[in-house]
Amino acid sequence: MQARIKTLGFILAIIGLGFVVGGGVAYAKSQAGYKSLQAFSAQQNVTLAYNEDGQLTDRGETEGAEAIMALLTEDWDYPVVEADLDPNDPLVNTASEYMFQMATVAYHTLTGTQTVVLDEDVEYNGETFEAGSYDVDVDGRYWTAFDREHPIDGLVRAQAWNGTTHGLIGELGVGTVTHSALQMVLALAGMFAGIGAVLIVAGFGLVWVGRSKTQPVTIEAQELESSQRDLATI
């Protein structure tokens, strides 16, 4: 029985060691990823703007930043981590910073005004649109909210949601997902290391129990005779 307990203890310790090694590998990979993301962010040199009081600003105004934050947290329901928004480190390199920058691009697109020009008169659904220049508000419309066959709406959509806008949003989205994935890997590394440590301690505990010597139970002769007499009287 003791040999089996010791064997089980060694097995648990070995499994625990595997978890610890796995946690170490995951941690190393996460740190390499963080380093790469930091280098990539530094090369892009995209930064958030803060005022002297440490408040986010957009084009020098806190009101614009507040509207962008409302778009991000209320319309998009994104859980912003306030600690990621550090005025002492304005470089965009965390998930919340990437998402705020994405919301900035989207906000100015959604609230902007586009000037489109028709070279000739165009008829659409029984309505004639004369040649000329038109100033049209995007009015909070995303790509799919426009009538692309409409002679004016189609042009507004193409100008507002152009390739650059889509490219910036896509690139910032990749940064967000990358940082979130690295956080998940780091959490898994800690979990693996914790499980491994528990298994190692439990394993060596079983080995220690298995190695302890059992003490024989001795019964004094007088006690034995007394017990026998008691049994005889039953």
Which pLDDT does position 217 carry in this prediction?
52
Q: Is residue 217 part of a domain?
A: no
At 219 the pLDDT is 52
Question: What pLDDT band is residue 232 in, cutting at 50, 70 and 90?
Answer: low
Tell me what pLDDT residue 107 has: 98
How far is 14 from 92, CA to CA, in rounded Å? Answer: 42
Whether residue 153 lies inside any domain: the answer is yes
Total domains in the chain come to 1
- Taking CA atoms, 199 is separated from 9, 28, 79, 185, in Å, by 9, 22, 35, 21
Predicted confidence at residue 207, as pLDDT, reads: 85
Inside any domain, residue 24: yes
Is 224 within a domain? no
pLDDT digits (tens, 9 = 90+) for 112-147: 999 999 999 999 999 999 999 999 999 999 999 999
Confidence of residue 233 (pLDDT cuts 50, 70, 90): low
Please give the C-alpha separations between residue 161 and each of 23, 108, 114, 150, in angstroms, as whole numbers. Answer: 43, 11, 11, 16
Residue 227 lies inside a defined structural domain of this protein = no
Contact 84, 97 (CB under 8 A): yes
pTM of the model: 0.79
Question: What is the residue range of 75's domain?
Answer: 2-208
Q: Could you read off the pLDDT of 7-64 as tens digits, one per residue?
A: 888 899 999 999 999 999 999 999 999 999 999 888 988 899 999 999 999 999 999 9
- Label residue 229 by pLDDT band (50, 70, 90): low
Q: Please indicate, yes or no, if residue 232 is contained in any of the structural domains.
A: no
Residue 84 inside a domain? The answer is: yes
What pLDDT digit, counting tens, does each position of 179-228 carry? 999 999 999 999 999 999 999 999 888 888 877 665 555 555 555 566 55
Q: Within a domain: residue 158?
A: yes
